[in-house]
A and B are shown apart, each in its own frame.
Chain A
Amino acid sequence: MVRLIEVSRRFGATVAVDRISLELARGAFLTILGPSGCGKTTLLRMIAGFIAPSAGEIVVHGRPVADLPPWKRSIGMVFQRLALFPHLTAFGNVAYPLQMRGFPRDGIADRVARYLRLVRLEGLGGRRPHELSGGQQQRVAIARALVFEPDLLLLDEPLAALDKKLREDMQLEFRRIQQELGVTTINVTHDQREALVMSDRVLVMDQGRLQQAGTPEETYARPANRFVAGFIGLTNFLPAEVVDRGPGATRLRIGALEITLPGATARPAAGPIEVALRAERIRLLAPDEAAEITVAGTIAAAVFEGDRVVYEVGVPALGPQTLKLYDLDPLGHGRRRPGEPVRLGWLARDLLTFTP
């Protein structure tokens, strides 16, 4: 189990990491998600031991690691630019931690071979890093970080530099290896999709602070605040006002539109609030189709992305702002042109409310 207790790090006057606490069960896969500069890499480097925390405690498998330098911690790390040793072969790279950590010499070759097989690099052990493709280099880096069976595996955005296709393949590959070995893993990324695809738990950070911790589903379905709602997924934000708060429902005014939210929705405080609506929750309605909430608008822009069209629709009733939404079956019906009138519909429970 990995535990962080109120871990902070200051650089001069700036607080890079501000009292982050977390608990991670053995064998779980956690992703720390946040924009660049949010402090996630600093947090990871504190766990690895390259940076000392200004305050707080880090405990790995019951053992506080504050006094342990990186080479005495049992933590494997895959670096952003991989940091493979250019003068060693793939085999040499993977054997390195075993040699440094004093594993018995006669067992090293077998073990390296076993891990090269695990990452599907059998037969390529003799190649130098520059003779390997990007994906193969990733595999060497992960084998090297795992071969000494560390208590904890850290991933510092190693997939960020790959092209989309390879990145998505490697996400699944990392997950497969992680589950096969059952190694506790902390991954850092700014890619929301990667966080949702790979992890058991997601921790969202912004400006050094914890914004939300939970499963990928929770984080997506019930964002804790406006930042999380905006960072994960494509989300429309609309200014609104609470008109009336009854015992079972809340009446909101969004522009000229009045909407009653069912009681199950989180209660906004009285006064000005903000309403969030995910792009995929909005439907383009057929002429005779009905929905719980319907508005009329005009297409302002249409972007074809292959599997979907992203529309921006101006809705006079909601104010000057346009709504973004997807058509996930663009080949099934014709593409709408800018200027074309449309009707949009969604469910009241899809509206998320935040006090600004």
Chain B
Amino acid sequence: MSRGWLLWLLVGLVVLDLAFLALPTLVVLIASFTPGTIIAFPPEGLSLRWYAALLDRPDFLRALWRSLLVGLVCTALAVPIGTLAALALARFRLRGGTALQVYLLLPFTIPLVVSGIGLMLVFGQLGWLGRVWPVGVAACVINLPFMIWAVAAAVNHLDPDLENAAQSLGAPPTHAFVTVTLPAVMPGIVTGALVMFILAVNEFLVSLMLVDARTVTLPVLVYNAIRSIITPDLAAVSAVYVGLALVAILLLDRLVGLDIFLRSRKS
């Protein structure tokens, strides 16, 4: 095979890849501006009609609020737990450290349906079913590996003598942790927190099992809606999601810089 041929094949694959990454989002975004009453692509015109309609749907707004609450609960739990777990795993040679690592990654390797059933049983016993905040707890349990990875990447990047240096410069251990270690791993914490928030706001399958008709989160509401008639307001809801993700990425870029995802780190 000639090199030119190979090059064209690669270019073709990249274009295809990029197209498939962005296409579904673009189609939904464009479809959401339709003025008609059925969802269609390409739309027959341009209108913000369905966005306005969203504001008149209190059930949508309440579901959105519940999803944001789920995201907040999940993030509030994941930040301290994930940060401390990552620090402990990366910094200290714990007895059974590997076992602990596997244990923490377990939720990630189990099918979501199985985790969902498990959580449903436990939460049922605790009387937590049908409430909103336990969904945040569930999202935290399932996605915690992401938080740990984000912080662990930042910790591994640090000089292991950082806290020793702080101590020899006059800082007692707790002081050294607060003034040096924590700020130094902050990029990892911010990254992890935003990822956890977005994942929790988007969390669908497990939410489906844990909520009831009065406490549906936004993804569950959308799912319920498409089972009857697919109306353009669903496309508008999807656009709201895209907007949320965009805000998260912009925040990440401002606070940490996206280049940490693209640059391979120096050891």
Judge whether A164 is part of the interface by a CB distance below 8 angstroms: no
Contact of B159 among A70, A71, A79 (CB under 8 A): A79
Chain A residues with CB under 8 Å of B29's CB are none
- Cα A82 to Cα B162 in complex, Å, equals 9
Chain A residues with CB under 8 Å of B165's CB are 77, 79, 83-85
A87 touches B168 (CB 8 A): no
Judge whether B184 is part of the interface by a CB distance below 8 angstroms: yes
Chain A residues with CB under 8 Å of B167's CB are 49-50, 69-71
B170 touches A100 (CB 8 A): yes
- Cα A75 to Cα B165 in complex, Å, equals 11
Closest Cβ neighbor of B186 among chain A residues:
A87
Within 8 A of A (CB), among B179-197: 179-180, 183-184, 186
Chain A residues with CB under 8 Å of B56's CB are none
A84 to chain B, nearest CB (A): 8
A300 to chain B, nearest CB (A): 40
A97 touches B170 (CB 8 A): yes
- Cα A69 to Cα B168 in complex, Å, equals 9
Judge whether B55 is part of the interface by a CB distance below 8 angstroms: no
Contact of A87 among B161, B164, B175, B183 (CB under 8 A): B183
- Cα A86 to Cα B266 in complex, Å, equals 14
Judge whether A159 is part of the interface by a CB distance below 8 angstroms: no
Chain B residues with CB under 8 Å of A101's CB are 169-170
A134 to chain B, nearest CB (A): 12
B180 touches A71 (CB 8 A): no
Closest Cβ neighbor of B165 among chain A residues:
A83
Judge whether A48 is part of the interface by a CB distance below 8 angstroms: yes
A186 to chain B, nearest CB (A): 13
B171 touches A75 (CB 8 A): no
Judge whether A193 is part of the interface by a CB distance below 8 angstroms: no
Contact of B158 among A76, A80, A86 (CB under 8 A): A86
A77 touches B168 (CB 8 A): yes
Secondary structure type dominating chain B contacts:
helix
A148 touches B186 (CB 8 A): no
A121 to chain B, nearest CB (A): 18
- Cα A168 to Cα B169 in complex, Å, equals 27
A85 touches B172 (CB 8 A): no
A83 touches B162 (CB 8 A): yes
Judge whether B77 is part of the interface by a CB distance below 8 angstroms: no
B169 touches A79 (CB 8 A): no
Q: Contacts A79-B159, A81-B159 given; indicate if A87 touches B170 (C-beta within 8 A).
A: no
Q: Contacts A87-B184, A87-B186, A100-B175 given; indicate if A71 touches B161 (C-beta within 8 A).
A: no
- Cα A96 to Cα B175 in complex, Å, equals 12
* Most chain B Cβ neighbours within 10 Å, of A49, A76, A86: A86
Chain B residues with CB under 8 Å of A76's CB are 168-169
Q: Contacts A100-B169, A100-B171, A148-B169 given; indicate if A79 touches B164 (C-beta within 8 A).
A: yes
Judge whether A139 is part of the interface by a CB distance below 8 angstroms: no
Within 8 A of A (CB), among B118-164: 158-162, 164
B169 touches A97 (CB 8 A): yes
A85 touches B164 (CB 8 A): no
A58 to chain B, nearest CB (A): 15
Question: Could you give, for residues 44-71 of chain B, a 1 whenever the CB lies within 8 Å of some chain A CB and a 0 otherwise?
Answer: 0000000000000000000000000000
- Cα A87 to Cα B180 in complex, Å, equals 8
Question: Could you give, for residues 13-35 of chain A, a 1 whenever the CB lies within 8 Å of some chain B CB and a 0 otherwise?
Answer: 00000000000000000000000
Question: What would 18 A/B residue contacts be, using CB atoms closer than 8 Å?
Answer: A48-B164, A48-B168, A50-B164, A50-B167, A50-B168, A70-B167, A70-B168, A71-B170, A73-B168, A76-B169, A79-B164, A82-B159, A83-B164, A84-B165, A87-B184, A97-B169, A144-B169, A145-B169
Residues of B participating in the A interface, judged by any CB pair closer than 8 Å? 158-162, 164-172, 175-176, 179-180, 183-184, 186
- In addition to A85-B166, A85-B180, 8 A-B residue pairs with Cβ atoms within 8 Å of each other are A50-B164, A70-B164, A71-B168, A77-B164, A77-B165, A79-B159, A85-B184, A145-B168
